[in-house]
Amino acid sequence: MKPTIGVLALQGDVREHFHALAACDAEPVSVRRESELESVDALVLPGGESTAISKLLEVFGLLDPLRARLRAGMPAFGSCAGMILLASEVLDTRPDAQSLSGIDMTVRRNAFGRQVDSFETDLDFTGLDDPIRAVFIRAPWVERAGAGVEVLARVPHRPRPGTVVAEGPSVGDPQDAAGRIVAVRQGSVIATSFHPEVTGDLRVHRLFVDSVRAAVGAGT
């Protein structure tokens, strides 16, 4: 069964998620309108600029319909900005920014620093046999995970061999964030601080697509 998975196509790295979903034998479609949201089995919220996306959700009349579908159990996956949007509470954001409360968590926006503080490292990820390469770009982290939230990955306490930190005048040290939560799941909703869509490693997308198939098969 090939599930129909929407990619919120208002801003951000939409194309990369499209390619990853198609490679995982899903049917990706763009979502910009309520009618398109109603037609999909699940939704991906891509990385981008979280405050811009939240404003566009209001402009396109998608904010309340999306909240309603999440409450009704629609599977969703958010990367980076998508994680911020799925949170129930967001720190260090604009006062008019909207969130979707898809996962009971508190997220700190731009927690790892600015663009020059971007880095890559390998993470142990629950459900995957081998570590996954994680790319962090102006990324959030999770400061509080609710009782029903499963932690899938944390920043390692020592940088993995091959960790690459972006060069710049304000280079961050990923070891400063050791132990921070960077991937979570609550029910059928998954969120990552990092961008699995840009590495060519499809395992996180496969986990998500498999969960969508299971949810659709169960009549969710």
Active site residue 80: yes
Catalytic hit among 16, 24, 195, 205? 195
Across 118-215, where does the E strand assignment appear? 119-123, 132-136, 141-145, 150-154, 164-165, 181-186, 189-192
Which of these is catalytic: 17, 80, 120, 205? 80
Over residues 50-70, the pLDDT tens digits come to 999 999 999 999 999 999 999
Identify the bridge partners of residue 43 per DSSP, sorted by sequence position: 6, 76
CB 150 within 8 A of CB 184: yes
What CATH number should be reported for the domain whose range is 4-110+140-152+179-219?
3.40.50.880
Q: In 3D, which of 84, 71, 116 has the Cα closest to residue 8?
A: 84
pLDDT digits (tens, 9 = 90+) for 104-147: 999 999 888 765 457 888 999 999 999 999 999 889 999 999 99
Is 195 one of the catalytic residues?
Answer: yes
Q: Give the separation between CA 45 and CA 158, rounded to whole angstroms.
A: 30
* 89 annotated as a binding-site residue: no
Based on the residue annotation, tell me whether 16 is a catalytic residue of this protein.
Answer: no
Report how far residue 12's alpha carbon sits from residue 67's, in angstroms, rounded to the nearest whole number.
Answer: 20
- Structure tokens belonging to residue 109: 């926006």
C-alpha distances in angstroms, 213 versus 5, 41, 112, 164?
10, 9, 34, 35
At residue 171, does pLDDT exceed 50? no
Average pLDDT, rounded, for the chain: 89
Question: Is 49 one of the annotated binding-site residues?
Answer: yes
Q: Does 137 belong to an annotated binding site?
A: yes
Neighbouring residues of 49: CB distance < 8 A, sequence distance ≥ 6: 11, 12, 81
Q: What is the DSSP letter of 146?
A: -
Q: Is 162 annotated as a binding residue?
A: no
Residue 12 in tokens:
């951000």
Contact criterion met (CB below 8 Å) for 190 and 183: yes
Consult the annotation and say whether 109 binds a ligand. Answer: yes
Is pLDDT of 77 > 80? Answer: yes
pLDDT band at 169; cut points 50, 70, 90: very low
Average pLDDT of the segment spanning 190-211:
95
* Active-site position among 17, 120, 197, 205: 197
